[in-house]
Amino acid sequence: MCHFTQRSSTLSFPKICNIFWRFPHTSTSHLCSCSKTASDEKYQDPFQLGRKDLKNLYEDIKKELLVSTAELKEMCDYYFDGKGKAFRPMIVVLMARACNIHHNNSREVQASQRSVAIIAEMIHTASLVHDDVIDDANSRRGKMTVNQIWGERKAVLAGDFILSAASVALARIGNTTIISVLTQVIEDLVRGEFLQLGSKENENERFAHYLEKTFKKTASLIANSCKAVSILGCPDPKVHEIAYQYGKNVGIAFQLIDDVLDFTSCADHLGKPAAADLKLGLATGPVLFACRQ
């Protein structure tokens, strides 16, 4: 991320790399010297920077999920209770703001760009509902999972419905390029889940397999959402690629940290069971490093 900041100093990107300062068990002195190379200004909390654009985010998502069936609506609204971190929408609106400032010094996020942030959170949440069914998880964000309360069959249908509502919102943007970019995310989510269900016999291929799975399951959504808002805000393909690569690396880093926390944190802190991947027989980064030793 430091490399990104230095190479792209002509872009007025907000200091999104501050997210790493928020991770527990992390020493800031070993991570980045961006404050010396990019600006002497003190880093701001990215959630505060994006606060204006994230206002009423979950209320707007619930408006996309209007259904006649009370039970289905209750299931769809269950994770959109405003208690999530909204990490992905935050990254997306800050990238949108950065691209807009770079292109024409506009300091406002376009309605279509904010829609991308909403869609990203909807796709992410639908994937959580489906993941919890696949993993037979019993808690998520500090409360019981949808599948534990309503059963697996209804949980799968609820996840499908959230995805369909996200697709309708995506079509409403009316840009075929954006539709193509964001539908790639859904394909990657499915392919990533299949990768997670498999493994590599060759020890030298295992880490590459793990990183590919991590990209498809976690980073693709952030990468392609960042790319989408950059396309909406700036015509320069070079900026689109920078936005994509930024989202890709932040997404992979986010998952790597999450996999470490699965071993170093407790369930109360995570909001979900600790060591869950290990119990499922999934070899994440810490396990792969341990195998090498």
Letter string b/e over residues 55-86, b meaning 16 or more CB atoms within 10 A of that residue's CB = eebbebbbebbeeeeeebbebbebbbeeebeb
Q: With 60 as the cut, is the pLDDT of residue 13 above it? A: no
Residues 6+ apart with CB under 8 A from 104: none
Structure tokens belonging to residue 283: 């070899």
Residues 6+ apart with CB under 8 A from 291: 203, 206, 283
pLDDT tens for each residue of 59-84:
999 999 987 788 988 998 888 987 77
Helices 87-104 and 220-233: crossing angle in degrees, nearest 10, is 30
pLDDT tens for each residue of 89-108:
999 999 999 999 999 999 89
Quickly count: other Cβ atoms within 10 Å of residue 187's Cβ: 11
Q: With 50 as the cut, is the pLDDT of residue 3 above it? A: no
What's the chain's length in residues? 293
pLDDT tens for each residue of 108-132:
999 999 999 999 999 999 999 999 9
For residue 194, what pLDDT is reported?
A: 92
More confident of the two residues 39 and 165? 165
* Burial tier of 198 (Cβ tally within 10 Å: 0-12, 13-18, 19+): exposed
Distance of CA 71 to the CA centre of its chain: 27
Residues 6+ apart with CB under 8 A from 51: none
pLDDT tens for each residue of 243-281:
999 999 999 999 999 999 988 877 666 666 667 777 777
pLDDT tens for each residue of 172-211:
999 999 999 999 999 999 999 999 888 777 777 889 999 9
DSSP 241-256: HHHHHHHHHHHHHHHH
How does residue 43 score in pLDDT terms, banded at 50, 70 and 90?
confident
Residue 209 in contact with residue 287, Cβ under 8 Å?
Answer: no
For residue 218, what pLDDT is reported?
A: 96
For residue 115, which amino acid is it?
Answer: S
From first CA to last CA, the distance across the chain in angstroms is: 28
Average of pLDDT values for 133-148? Answer: 89
Q: With 80 as the cut, is the pLDDT of residue 33 above it? A: no
- Domain boundaries in the chain? 46-291
Q: With 70 as the cut, is the pLDDT of residue 168 above it? A: yes
Distance in angstroms (rounded) separating the CA atoms of residues 118 and 35: 31
Distance in angstroms (rounded) separating the CA atoms of residues 166 and 168: 5
Task: Name the CA dihedral angle for 48, 51, 54, 58, rounded to a multiple of 10 degrees.
Answer: 90
Instruction: Assign 47 to helix, strand or coil.
Output: helix
CATH number of 46-291: 1.10.600.10
